[in-house]
Amino acid sequence: MRLGLLGGSFDPVHFGHLLLAECAREQLGLAEVWFLPAAGAPHKRGQEQTDIALRLQMLELATAGNPAFRVSDMEARRGGTSFTVDTLETLHTDEPERELVFLVGADMLHDLPHWRRAERVCQLATIAAARRPDVAEPNFDCLLAIAGVDRVAHFARHQVEMPAVDFSSSDIRARAAAGQSIRYRTPPAVEQFIAVQRLYR
């Protein structure tokens, strides 16, 4: 079984997240894609985040109806700052024969060597980079020092091509705070949830 993993804050989830997950599922032959909302993202320390329980609910609403999508609360249950290596270690221990495919945006590749225990991350999971058609092919050479030539070549064969969409959670939060429409940026059920809960106001 090839399991796709998509981490992030998802504050809130938007159509770009969902499109990336579906493109990866189809192009990489993934049995499932798990959404892993971080209890506390390392790069967002000190920033205010929506309660993890609300972010989980929004993800459940957004992914309902797609049997290949699953929302995992494992990082929420662990609490504290969420590190990818801890999540991968847990998943590998639970089912060692399962292949883990970690989905990242192509622009995140250069940050990956600075992640906690980045070498172990590259051992535990295949790194799959998503890129848009208007962006140059990602350069995986930045991972050579932590993964080696053969492993990086393997990663380079796992690129996900997706349409050029320019959604961001920060833009949705800003629009909601200004009383502007967020329709067609996030699923209707999530849009309604944000309105009822008065999030980002």
The reported pLDDT for the residue numbered 47 is 67
Instruction: Return the CATH superfamily for domain 2-167.
Output: HUPs (3.40.50.620)
The reported pLDDT for the residue numbered 44 is 56
pTM listed for this prediction: 0.94
Each residue's pLDDT, cut to its tens digit, for the chain (201 residues) gives 999 999 999 999 999 999 999 999 999 999 999 999 999 766 555 568 999 999 999 999 999 999 999 999 999 999 888 899 999 999 999 999 999 999 999 989 999 999 999 999 999 999 999 987 777 788 899 999 999 999 999 999 999 999 988 899 999 999 999 999 999 999 999 999 999 999 999
Cα dihedral: 124, 3, 78, 81 (round 10):
60
Bridge partners for 161 per DSSP: 131
Q: Between vectors from CA 158 to CA 152 and to CA 160, what angle results, nearest 5°?
A: 135
Identity of residue 115: W
The reported pLDDT for the residue numbered 191 is 98
